[in-house]
A = this chain, B = another copy of it.
Amino acid sequence: MSRRALILYAHPEPRSFCAALRDVACAALAEAGYAVGVSDLYAQRFKAVLEPEDYGVLSAQQAAGEAAPFNVTLAQRRAVKEGSLAPDIARELEKLLACDLLVLVFPLWWFGMPAILKGWFDRVLLSGTVYGRSALFENGKLRGKKALVATTTGGPAEFYGAHSLNGDLLDILMPLHRGVLAFTGMTVLPPYVATHVPYAGEAARTRMLEEFAAHLRRLDELTPLPMPRVADHLHQMGHLLKAKAE
């Protein structure tokens, strides 16, 4: 059976440079033997905002104070047990669980993901299904999957770097790399970042798309980013992890 890749793509303009990055990823991964699927969040009009009804909890009852206070973690676990997940979450979760490689393609807005993509993680990464109290990092439930970020900046390359105005791109992407992808157990590959995109001419765009394709052709040789391991922190917090073991 061939390996599966899921591309999460989030840009409001179908003719954007991000769309071209997505197309490069589709082609390069297909060539490498992946079965490639795309979640085009804008085209799907993906719901970004996590709400009680996503997990079968009635908002009206909540608002009236008739139900217990809405707790995201508990509601997610109960929805899985009772089969009351919103259909769009169930569909995206199925694609995520089936993939071997997750590729995120998005423009860097305010040092982070567009809200529609952040909302995908907020809503789809269910407690108990993709992580648990001790099922984190190397024990996370998505272990074995690889993840790779491809993003674009408006600012020029000179704005990024440890001693530059905006700081290092790996620091900017840390919450996503470490707090989302590695946290759930995924192996995080080095990102591809295209800079100064709105000001790039045809030649620069072509060069960047070729760089990205080359990056993807090296996928199996890329050295993953270093990430923390639960096993190295048991002296600090073993009692907490054991207290409510998964």
Residues of A within 8 A of B (CB): 12-16, 42, 48-52, 62-63, 65, 69-73, 107, 109-116, 118-119, 121-122, 125, 136-137, 154, 156, 158-159, 164-167, 171-172, 174-176, 178-180, 183, 198, 228, 230, 233, 236-237, 240
Contact = CB atoms under 8 A, between A and B. Distances in A.
For A50, A111, A180, which residue has the most chain B Cβ atoms within 10 angstroms?
A111
A158 to B, nearest CB: 5
Total copies of the chain: 2
B122 A156 contact: no
22 contacts: A12-B51, A14-B65, A15-B69, A16-B69, A16-B70, A48-B116, A50-B115, A72-B107, A73-B154, A110-B121, A111-B174, A112-B112, A112-B176, A114-B118, A115-B119, A119-B119, A156-B240, A158-B236, A158-B237, A158-B240, A164-B236, A171-B171
Contacts of A122: 109-110, 114-115
